[in-house]
Structure 1
Amino acid sequence: MSITEIQMLFKFIGGLGMFLYGMDAMADGLQKSAGHKMQQLLGFLTSNRLMGVLLGTGITAIIQSSSATTVMVVGFVNAGIINLGQAVGIIMGANIGTTVTSWIVSMSEWGEMLKPEFFAPALVGVGAVLSLFTGSGKKKQIGEILVGFGVLFIGLSFMSDSITPYRNAPIFSQAFSVLGKNPFLGILAGLVVTGIIQSSSASVGILQTLALNGIVNWQSAIYITLGQNIGTCVTALLSSVGANKTAKRAAVIHLLFNVTGAVIFGCIMFVMFRLNPVFAASRISSVGISIFHTIFNVSNTVILFPFAGLLVKASGILVHEDKKEAPMDTDGQMKRHLDERILETPSFAIENVNHEVVNMGYAAMENLDLAAAALLGSNKTEAELVEKMEQKINNYEKILIDYLVKINNQSLNEEQHLLVKNLFYTVSDFERVSDHCENLSELAVEKANRNIVFSKEAENEIKEMIKEVRASLEHAIKARETSDMSEVRAVVQCEERVDSLEEELRERHIERLSAQTCKPENGVIFLDALSNLERISDHAHNIAGYVRDEM
């Protein structure tokens, strides 16, 4: 091998690397830029199947990977967030969304000004300036997108230039002639390449680069493209290992959908090529590949959309459901809901973990109710339940913190970083609320052991304090759940009342002690209870403050 040939090989490898990196950087920037909108899309997951198709198309167009979308869908199914019927629509839409990349790659054939070598350096230059020298988060994200676009196109240009000297080499014409004449070999080639690089968008881009140099014929390109659409299923199938049977079925549905489409179109195109061998052997352009890729995925969705139910049933035949699934405890359910596959799209992962943090809040409020009942009734049984709930909430904290750390290691925009940071703090505050509930339960046990009885007046005062504190905590949880400023304001008002009430009740208690209508030992428990309740309200106020900061 000569120095020139080695140089060309390095240029192709470098170009491929830049193409893959540019596509990833562009998708990363798009995802950050669309952060809040991506969270809003989660609401459509419970809508009808057609909405699922639109959702899958939109998400894949943003993250530039149908494999990533499908892996995320497997995660959603495994977490029990969506069912298989809803998953089918999103999977179909993901196949349509992935065609966007092929159109971006074929831009160089749209006109002289759209050729990579013309505008790509300018994109990288402008993008780098925005990323490095602007303080605005939005401008930085735009810069990342531009740099990604630019590097992607420079990579394509490098790959194309490295192949140009060999466009007339017999090996290419012979290879594509063999792949074109044998549909199975063509499909297998596309499947293997896509399975190895784990991206149909990238493998289609490589094929389009070869097409730009006029060395790919129609029949080989069609069969390879069909194989690439099957190969993209490998990622989802691998990700389903270790998931539950329903999630495995989601990955199998993706495979069935793409294989069925490949068989239908493979047969149609085989007949067409037989009838028109001149067309079959003619050169295909990168735009031609984009057109077929789009027609295939859109038509496949239109054809199979009415039979989505059959795809679900067929997946059940291939992946047998367990007759009885072992019951799962609360910790296990939370771990299942926080599926790591959903981390493929941080916006969805944040929305999902926010939901679980809210659940932790309601568990803390339940613990407050138990602690209040134990304190007022001097009930040791209720106090033991508080201890058990405290252990459960401690486990919640570990699970949620671990997942939030993983989200924080993803590529997030400034708004998402703030939200994740506040969720860290919120989890800590809910855990502290439960700690104060545990303190109240210990006071309840001490009260029972020493046969301490509050006066009617003191008992009514504690009840009043508990009512205000509970209201404060409930409004804080709802503020976290809905991001509603009215709930935040309600917490602030409750906190003011709690602070005033604590001061007032302490003064009344001192008056009772002075009048000797209350025993000092009773007063210690009463004052400790007030202090713990007031601290719970403080934590509720903290939680509402985080929500306010996000607006």
Structure 2
Amino acid sequence: MEFGIYELFTLIGALGFFIYGMKVMSDGIQKVAGSKMRGILSKMTSNRFLGVATGFLITALLQSSSATTVMIVSFVNAGLLTLVESIGVIMGANVGTTITAWLISLLGFKVKISAIALPIIAIGMPMMFSSNRKMKSWAEVLIGFALLFMGLDHLKGAVPDLQANSEFLSFLANYANMGIYSTLMFIGVGTMLTLIVQSSSAAMAITLIMCNMGYIPFELAAAMVLGENIGTTITANVAALVGNVHAKRAAKAHFIFNIFGVIWMIIAFSYFITSIDGFMQNNKGFIQNLVESNAKTESLGDEMIFNCTDTATISWITANKGLTITEYKTAKNSYLIVNDDFANLIASSDNEEILNWSNNNSEIAASIATIKDVTTSPLNNAKAVPIGLSIFHTLFNIINLLLLVWFVPLISRIVIKMQPSKGDVDEEFHLEHIGSGLMQTSELSVLEAKKEVSKFGRISSKLFKMIPELMTETDNKKFNNLMSRIKKYEDITDRMEVEIADYLAEAAKGELSDTASKKVRSMLSIVNDMERIGDICYQMSITIERKNEQKAYFTPELRTSLEEMIAEVLKALEIMNKNLNSEYKQVSMADANGAEDIINKMRNKLRKEYLTKIEKGEVKIQTGMIYNNLIHSLEKVGDHVHNITEAITGN
């Protein structure tokens, strides 16, 4: 078959079909299990083993380790996970991605799911129009599942016939037997393939298809799998480029984990390949049940026969098949199935029958026995390679996990040294990861935004605490530095409001549950109030600066009263932050109402105090105006803090 532009676009289209099906199914599963996944992530602890289990579970559900690792990087960036927690989750994600290989190996080649794909879509289609959100999400799962295997079927048909390509066969012949250099070369091929398709699952599917067709031998395919494990880490590192230092560290930890695994596997590569081959041959009955049903006749017979090199055996084969040597070579080169009777005889005969049939020719019998014995060997049977590759992929990731899970704190220290902090602002307030096109649903985006809003609350509190420092600072240099910090933080609050609001607006375009929709409305209101708190704090700093310039003097009584009101506002901010970090539906207004009442009473009290002192001539009118501005600003901060708890409760 010629491979031109049309065939190239057909191949790309089939790959797109596969990836799109995987994405639709992944999104549907996230929506169906959204609340459970949020609960798992929200309750994540520093226990690395729990992190591993969580990473495995999420990747097994999403069917994409790239999606999981990019999501984990974004969660670290948003503060949902610490670096140590994220490393455990990423380790689990690496094991979880092996599920994809097993699905394709066991179902993609053995069961013609594509034949029932349209009926599956027929079941899912009416569910798409259901008013029940969960039912619609289940429809996405079914339709995505069908599309994934339809895409896989098209992908198998779109891959060019490389056996007929003499250049390709020559390339394999030249580069397949170069020892470690061949391994390194095909590790590079696997890495590039994953970078091109941007999905380790899709890269694995392509590798499995090429193996199943006999285009790539088991050893080179295993090397490609190692390369795909490297390629998938680059996706996460690209996502982390726009994240903060914690996100970059998490991505680098993923890279270190996989690179270390590839290094030790290169050293033990030959041993592993031989061990897997031995295991599959020693468990022939079990493996044969996994290999597709026609492997016994097609693979055991002609594939193995055409791979024979023993002269006596070839002569005997050609005689029994009624072929000349030329016809045999033609059949061998074109990989034809010429006579199933011969293959079936070998498949159903034991060594004694073969000996009798071959006129007690021990050399021929030994060769035939060897043919029969290697049926389930991935080194000799192309149909067994997908199973062998799945075993290799699984063993590699599990052993790598068992080796490194004990060294999570060490890996954490290494990546911290590799990616040092550049300062407070860079690490605490860098939110540009929002809008980086992460593979996650609107439901998960709302969870991420909630953590950002909680962080916004902490920043607002930190900004407000600079006000009493500014009031008491007498050193001009320190005073000016504080003024600069307050201005910088006010700019940060402006940026955070815009970024979080834009992110929430994007999330709201997707399908959200009623609870999530309500939470989005609440958070939009919350970030608006927080931005106003930042503005008020900046205005207060300008007022204090003016007070110093005008040498306005507050009496000890006025200063003490002002400090008491500031203390009450700080208590209100503590209540606000506690509520922001709680489940919104569990928050009550009681504490916030109490704090608001106290602040309002103090405002009235302080206003009377300074007016009385002005009347008595103890305070100048200009000083009184400055004092009044500060009281008013504190009361407005209290109002916005109260508004935030109201938004949380939905009042």
Give the residue type in structure 1 aligned to 2:426: G
Contact 1:475 1:488 in 2 (8 A): no
Q: Distance in 1 between matches of 2:409 and 2:474?
A: 60
Which residues in structure 2 correspond to 1:57-136 (within 5 Å)?
Answer: 57-71=56-70, 88-106=87-105, 108=107, 115-118=113-116, 120-131=117-128, 133-136=129-132
Give 1:18-417 correspondences, 5 Å limit: 18-42=17-41, 47-71=46-70, 88-106=87-105, 108=107, 115-118=113-116, 120-131=117-128, 133-162=129-158, 178=173, 184=183, 187-210=187-210, 218=218, 221-236=221-236, 248=252, 250-261=254-265, 263-270=267-274, 279=377, 280-284=379-383, 288=387, 291-293=390-392, 295-301=394-400, 304-305=403-404, 308=407, 312=411, 321=417, 328-335=422-429, 347=445, 349-350=448-449, 353-370=452-469, 373=471, 387-401=483-497, 403-404=499-500, 405=502, 409=506, 414=512
Q: Is the 8 A contact 1:378 1:444 kept in 2?
A: no
Identify the residue that residue 470 of structure 1 maps to in structure 2. Answer: 570
Q: Provide the C-alpha distance between the structure 2 equivalents of 1:454 and 1:495, rounded to a whole number of angstroms.
A: 26
Give 1:210 deviation, angstroms.
4.8
Higher mean alpha-carbon deviation, 65-74 vs 11-20, is at: 65-74
Q: 1:397 touches 1:428 (CA, 8 Å); kept in 2?
A: no
Q: Distance in 1 between matches of 2:137 and 2:167?
A: 40
Contact 1:160–1:209 under 8 Å retained in 2 = yes
**1:74 and 1:250 in contact (8 A); partners too:** no
User: Corresponding residue for 2:311?
Assistant: none
Aligned residue for 1:61, secondary structure, equals: helix
Query: Once the 2 structures are TM-superposed, how far is the Cα of residue 104 of structure 1 from its aligned partner?
Result: 3.6
CA contact under 8 A between 2:204 and 2:228: conserved in structure 1? yes
Kept in 2, the 8 Å contact 1:189–1:227? The answer is yes
Q: Provide the C-alpha distance between the structure 1 equivalents of 2:269 and 2:197, rounded to a whole number of angstroms.
A: 24
Once residues 271 and 446 of structure 1 are traced to their aligned partners in structure 2, the CA distance between those partners, rounded to angstroms, is 80
- 1:358 CA drift (Å): 2.9
Structure having the higher Rg = 2
What whole-Å deviation, never above 9, does each CA across 1:261-281 have from its counterpart, x for those lacking one? 354344321476599766222
Counterparts in 2 of 1:204 and 1:400: CA distance versus 1, 3 Å: same
Question: Secondary structure at 1:281's aligned position in 2?
Answer: coil
- How big is the alpha-carbon RMSD for the aligned residues of Structure 1 and Structure 2? 5.0
Which deviates the most, 89-98 or 28-37? 28-37
Which residue type is aligned with residue 61 of structure 1? A
* 1:391 Cα deviation from its structure 2 partner: 0.5
| 121-130 or 391-400, which deviates more | 121-130
CA contact (8 A) 1:361 1:430 kept: yes
Letter in structure 2 aligned against 1:388: S
- Choose 336-345 or 219-228, whichever is displaced more: 336-345
How far the C-alpha of 1:138 sits from its partner, in A, is 3.7
Q: Kindly tell me: are residues 223 and 109 of structure 1, through their superposed partners in 2, closer, same or farther at Cα, counting changes over 3 Å? A: same
How far off its partner does 1:96 sit? 0.8
Secondary structure, counterpart of 1:284 in structure 2: helix
Say if 1:221 and 1:289, in contact at 8 Å, map to a contact too: no
Distance 2:490 2:466 in 1: 12
Structure-1 residue corresponding to 2:329: none
- Are the equivalent residues in 2 in contact too, given 1:160–1:212 (CA < 8 A)? no
How far, CA to CA, are the matches of 2:8 and 2:622 in structure 1? 86
Tell me: CA distance 1:283–1:254, structure 2 relative to 1, closer, same or farther (3 Å): closer
Q: Give distance in 2, aligned partners of 1:383 and 1:352.
A: 32
User: Cα gap change, 1:518/1:236 in structure 2, threshold over 3 Å: closer, same or farther?
Assistant: closer
Is 1:434 the counterpart of 2:525? The answer is no
- CA distance in 2 between counterparts of 1:89 and 1:506 reads 56
Q: 1:501 to 1:223 in 2, by over 3 A?
A: closer
Aligned residues: 536
Task: Give the distance between the partners of 2:230 and 2:484, measured in 1 at CA.
Answer: 50
- 2:636 paired residue number: 535
Q: Are the equivalent residues in 1 in contact too, given 2:29–2:62 (CA < 8 A)?
A: yes
Write out aligned runs for 1:488-507 (5 A): 488-499=589-600, 502=603
8 Å CA contact 2:494–2:531 kept in 1: the answer is no
Greater mean alpha carbon deviation, residues 382-391 or residues 19-28: 382-391
Q: Distance in 1 between matches of 2:646 and 2:392?
A: 50
Q: 1:290 to 1:549 in 2, by over 3 A?
A: farther
- Tell me if 1:480 matches 2:479: no
C-alpha separation in 2, matches of 1:351 and 1:488: 19
Task: Give the TM-score normalised by structure 1.
Answer: 0.75
Give secondary structure in 2 for the equivalent of 1:47: coil
**Contact 1:478-1:487 within 8 A present in 2 as well:** no
Q: 1:488 to 1:477 in 2, by over 3 A?
A: farther
Distance (whole Å) between structure 1 residues aligned to residue 62 and residue 489 of structure 2: 35
Structure 2 unaligned blocks of 5 or more: 282-372
Contact 1:379 1:445 in 2 (8 A): no
**SS of match in other structure, 1:94:** helix
Instruction: Note closer, same or farther for the CA distance 1:217–1:36 as it changes in structure 2 (3 Å cut).
Output: same
1:425-477 Cα deviation digits (max 9, x unpaired): 43442332233334444555566637455695x66765554444332232112
Q: Give the drift of 1:206.
A: 2.4
> Is the partner of 2:383 in helix, strand or coil?
coil
C-alpha deviations, 1:234-292, integer Å up to 9, x for none?
43566677997956465233222234235434432147659976622213258625742
CA contact (8 A) 2:276 2:392 kept: no
Q: Secondary structure at the match of 1:253?
A: helix
